[in-house]
Structure 1
Amino acid sequence: MPFRGRHTTVGNSDGFTFDKALFKAHPEFQGGRVAAHVIAPGQMLVSVDVPVDLAPEVEGHDPVLAAYLGFLDGQLEARRDLLRPFTAEDMAGVDALLEGVEVDLDAPLEGAEDFELP
C-alpha cells in the first residue's frame, strides 16, 4: 500500500511529510532517525537508522533485497487468492526453459567487482 507524502521545509532543513496512516501501520518509523538510500533515479529506500553498535551483525545484509523480500511478504499476505501449488507441469516448464544451460555455482559472477550501489 503506497503512502503519500510531500516535500516540506522544517526550520533550516528540507524534509518529507507523510500521511499519518504510514506511522499507524508502521510504528517503527515513529520518533527516531531514518536513513535514506537513493537506489535509482526517482526511487529512494527509507529505513530505520539503527546505531552501528546496536545493529545486528549480518554478513552480506542488503537493504534493497530486504525491502524487496518485505514487499513480497506483504503481497503474498494480501493476495493469498493468487497463490497456487507448484505442479509437475510447472517443473517441466522450468526444465524445458533451462535445457542446455550449464551453470557453475562456484564460479565468481562476471563484473561483480565493478558493481557498486549508487
Structure 2
Amino acid sequence: MDAALYRDHPEFASGEYVVDVIAPGRLLVRANGHEETVAEVEADPMLGAFLAFMDQQMSSNPTLFTPIDRAQIALIASLVEGVEASDDTAFSDDFHLP
C-alpha cells in the first residue's frame, strides 16, 4: 500500500483488518473496530463501507450534497418501476463490475 494511504487514514497504519471479497477481483478492506460495529459489517459490508464513505464526504465536502425533492423521488420511482431484484441472484463466472 502507498504511504499516502496511511497518512490520510491512520486507522490502517496498524491493527487488524477485515477483508471481504465483494466481486471477482475486488476486495473490501476495513480497519477492525473503526466506527462500525461488527454486526453492521456482517449484515452488509458494502452498505457499511458506503455509509462510512458518505459520512466522510459529508463532513469534508458538505456543499456536494443537496436535499432530494419530490420530483427526483418520482423520477427514481419511474426508473425502477417493474424491476425485480433478489439477494439470491447468482452471477455467472464472466460477470465483472466496471
Distance in 1 (CA, whole Å) between partners of 2:18 and 2:87 is 28
The number of aligned residues is 84
Q: Highest relative contact order (Cα 8 Å, sep 6+), 1 or 2?
A: 2
In the alignment, residue 39 of structure 2 is paired with which amino acid? V
Partner of 2:8: 25
Deviation at 1:80, TM superposition (A): 3.5
Task: From 15, 23, 40, give the equivalent of 1:40.
Answer: 23
Over the aligned positions, Cα root-mean-square deviation in angstroms equals 3.4
Q: Distance in 1 between matches of 2:21 and 2:6?
A: 21
Structure 1 residues 43 and 86 mapped into 2: Cα distance closer, same or farther (>3 Å)? same
AA matched with 1:39: I
1:66-105, aligned counterparts within 5 Å? 66-93=48-75, 97=78
Cα deviation, 1:82-103, whole Å, max 9, x if unaligned, reads: 43333343345456x28x87xx
Q: More strand by proportion, 1 or 2? A: 1
User: Scaled by the length of structure 1, what TM-score is found?
Assistant: 0.48
TM-score after normalising by structure 2: 0.54
Task: For residue 69 of structure 1, give the secondary structure of its aligned residue in structure 2.
Answer: helix
Identity rate, percent: 33
Q: Could you list the per-position Cα deviations for residues 8-50 of structure 1 after superposition, in whole angstroms to 9, with x for gaps in the alignment?
A: xxxxxxxxxx111111111111221222211101210112245
Relative to its length, the structure with more helix (as a share) is: 2
